[in-house]
Amino acid sequence: MLRLPWKVYANDPHWVPPLVSMRREKLNPQHNPMTNYLDIEYFLAWRGTEPVGCIAAFINPRHNEYHHEHIGWFGLFDVLDDREAAHALLQTAEEWVRAKGYDAIRGPASFGDMDEFGLQVDFFDSPHVLLYPHNPPYYKTYIEERGYKGVMDLLSYRIAAEAMRGANVPEKIIRVMEKQKKRRNITLRNPDLKHFDADLDMLYRMYTNAWKDNWGFVPPSREELYALFNQFKRFLQPDFIFIAEINGEPAGFIMLFPDLNQAIKHARPHPDTPELLTLLKVLWHWKVRPKVNRTRVPFLGVIDKYHGTGIDAMLYMAVVEPAVRAGFTEGDFGWVLDDNLAMNQISALVGGEIYNRFRIYQKALTPAD
């Protein structure tokens, strides 16, 4: 399963290979706390002596408990353009979930909403952005041929940095922000590096509160969130993180990452290449001969009692200046749930253009004949 993506995407100019260490860590319970509580099985499809596809089938008991559902999942789905192999992999995952006693299967997810979540179903010429899935168009065909139906779309917006500066900022946003700042005594700050662990704990509490009612969200353990931060801590910049407070009380946050896929693409990770050499190439294309001009906002949240106060717009605007100073010219705001009207409206107000769409599919499982 480690090497197969390099075979599947060999001729895909948009695919960005993952760092090999990150691919390994995703499958290793010592590095991925989520896999410690998942009931999971991995499958490979072969033609003769050659692997042509892979899939994971899993049960997430925390999801079922939190959402009062009774479903299984599939993920890590990669396959050559081979209808028979694709159908066999999906059928195998379905049978495994059914044998566990579950009546529906959903996916793809690898393995939760903080990682690659959903199937790319449109805009296949768009760039492959950090922590987003990317797949060929035929995946959609093969999955839908198996009887899967879309249950939720996830949207990604591209926004030019200049559209959120100066005279380009919609007057409505400025008016709402200024009014709310004065009325509620809202302040914005960067995290305190001397007490970063305390701020990280605060971010965890805000994240679980802000996202608690979102479709498909499952509160991660602290270990899961910290494992994700540990993967990217070398790339985090404190001035790309803002915490909003009202009268000193935490109210919301935003976190911006450089889209390191732009550098990783040029570094060309491969299982046969020493990781140290790959990381040196990433550093070269990130810092020495910069290829990274795009940022991504994977985490933004406002705790429930402060919804509708305009804090989300303030946070959006706050990260623009430090990003522009650092040389970034565009941002990715996503993903956003298709039914999240407030966030979709804000993204549109600041000139956001939908340039990626991902879909979660589901299929009812009937008792086997």
- What are the residue ranges spanned by the domains of the chain? 4-154+360-364, 158-357
Full-model pTM? 0.90
Write the pLDDT tens digit of every residue in 252-282: 999 888 999 999 999 999 999 999 999 999 9
For the chain, percent of residues with pLDDT exceeding 70: 97
Q: Which CA distances in Å does 338 have to 135, 212, 306, 316, 344?
A: 20, 17, 22, 19, 8
**Whether the predicted pLDDT of 187 surpasses 70:** yes
If you search the block for the tokens 């993204």, which residue do you land on? 347
H or E, element range at 315: helix 311-318
Question: Count of residues for the chain?
Answer: 369
CA dist 321 → 152, 239, 250, 306 (Å): 33, 10, 22, 24
CA distance 81 to 53: 9
Is 369's pLDDT higher than 50?
no
Query: Whose CA is closest to 251, among 307, 181, 330?
Result: 307
Q: What average pLDDT is seen over the chain?
A: 89
Among candidate residues 36, 78, 77, 42, the one with its CA nearest the CA of residue 58 = 42
Cα–Cα separations (whole angstroms), residue 169 to 135, 161, 164, 346? 35, 10, 5, 12
pLDDT tens, position by position, 114-149? 788 999 999 999 999 988 999 999 999 999 999 999
Q: How far apart, in whole angstroms, are the C-alpha atoms of residue 156 and residue 122?
A: 11
CATH architecture of 4-154+360-364: 3-Layer(aba) Sandwich (3.40)
Please state whether the peptide bond connecting residue 286 to the residue before it is cis, i.e. omega within 30 degrees of 0.
no
Residues 311-336: tens digit of each pLDDT: 888 888 888 888 888 889 999 988 89
Superfamily of domain 158-357: Gcn5-related N-acetyltransferase (GNAT) (3.40.630.30)
**CA-CA distance, 72 to 107, in Å (whole number)?**
9
Q: What is the pLDDT of residues 48-103, one digit of tens each?
A: 999 999 999 999 999 999 999 999 999 999 999 999 999 999 999 999 999 999 99
The yes-or-no verdict on residue 33 having pLDDT over 50 is: yes
Whether 158-357 and 4-154+360-364 are alike in CATH topology: the answer is: yes
Is 308 a residue whose pLDDT tops 90?
no
User: Are 36 and 160 contacting, i.e. CB atoms less than 8 angstroms apart?
Assistant: no
For residue 79, what are its two tokens? 């396959």
- The distance in angstroms from the start CA to the end CA of the chain is 31
pLDDT (tens digit per residue) in 342-361: 788 878 877 789 999 999 99
CB atoms within 10 A of CB 79: 26
How much is the pLDDT for 317? 83
Query: Out of 44-48, 119-123, 181-185, 289-293, which region has the weakest mean confidence (pLDDT)?
Result: 181-185
Which band of pLDDT confidence, cut at 50, 70 and 90, is reported for residue 368? low
Helices 20-27 + 275-283 axis angle, to 10: 120
Q: What is the rounded distance in angstroms from the CA atom of residue 359 to the CA atom of residue 149?
A: 9
Query: Tokens 């599939």, residue?
Result: 74
The CA distances from residue 49 to 44, 80, 85, 203, in Å, are 12, 15, 14, 48
pLDDT at residue 234 above 70?
no
- Encoding tokens for residue 145? 């041929």
Residue percentage of the chain with pLDDT more than 90: 53
Tokens standing for residue 106: 């959903």
280 in Cβ contact with 189 (< 8 Å)? no
